[in-house]
Copies of this chain bind each other. A is one copy, B any other.
């Protein structure tokens, strides 16, 4: 049975890395003592080593060992032997380019569909959708495709941000950008606010955290849906 925790962000304002979600992760990874960490998204250009160290320090608090995928000679073997997988945030274009260049898209999809628990934050959550096309990131590298794991049958916009009514800035709001996406694409998009996550167990997809999520669908009114909503109707 597919098991995922798909989080909008690694860090909420005023708290440490993963601090807000560690108690839930402790339950989610019950019985798992070692997790494979994929640092490919390199937030702020961090090295794989430095990024993995941050993940290690957080998971140590719930007594789980983290090993970076770059520590293995063969990343596909690393995936196939993983007891749990965590893909951290950063730049989604870089993450997707690296996943393709290491031939990991189908490898990861396959083990997660066969029950290896998967945790993603931000870019690591965006890739659980059909495509990466609702990322907020800058296209710093050209990936061979925008298609991702398709573990969810919809797309995610992480760090979802409501329009600032006092802003004088003329750049598009997040909502405008997602509406532009729907002039060309049918894929539903879920805007996940920081501090929210989806808890996926088989066909159940429950919204967790304290905030509503915002669901965008082509040719339908945009709706706000509260915590504990089951999004399996999108699958």
Binding site for B on A (CB under 8 A): 9, 11-14, 42-45, 90-91, 93-94, 132-142, 145-146, 159, 161, 168-172, 176-185, 194
Contact = CB atoms under 8 A, between A and B. Distances in A.
A180 to B, nearest CB: 5
> Interface on chain A toward B: helix, strand, loop, or mixed SS?
loop
A40 B228 CA distance: 41
B171 A138 contact: no
B133 A135 contact: no
- Among A14, A177, A185, max chain B CB count under 10 A is at A177
A58 B82 CA distance: 60
A44 B9 CA distance: 27
Given A42-B183, A45-B179, A179-B45, A159 B171 contact: yes
12 contacts: A11-B170, A43-B172, A43-B180, A44-B172, A45-B182, A94-B180, A137-B172, A137-B177, A138-B181, A139-B146, A140-B180, A161-B169
B180 A170 contact: no
Nearest to A47: B183
Q: How many copies does the complex hold?
A: 2
Given A45-B180, A170-B194, A185 B140 contact: yes
B138 A136 contact: yes
Contact of A141 (B13, B141, B161, B184): B184
A184 B146 contact: no
Contact of A146 (B11, B94, B135, B142): B142
A102 B209 CA distance: 46
Given A13-B170, A170-B194, 12 more contacts: A14-B168, A44-B172, A91-B180, A133-B139, A133-B140, A136-B171, A138-B180, A140-B183, A141-B184, A142-B145, A159-B171, A169-B194
A124 to B, nearest CB: 14
Nearest to A14: B168
A139 B139 contact: yes
Nearest to A12: B170
Given A133-B138, A133-B139, A139-B132, A171 B180 contact: no
Nearest to A90: B180
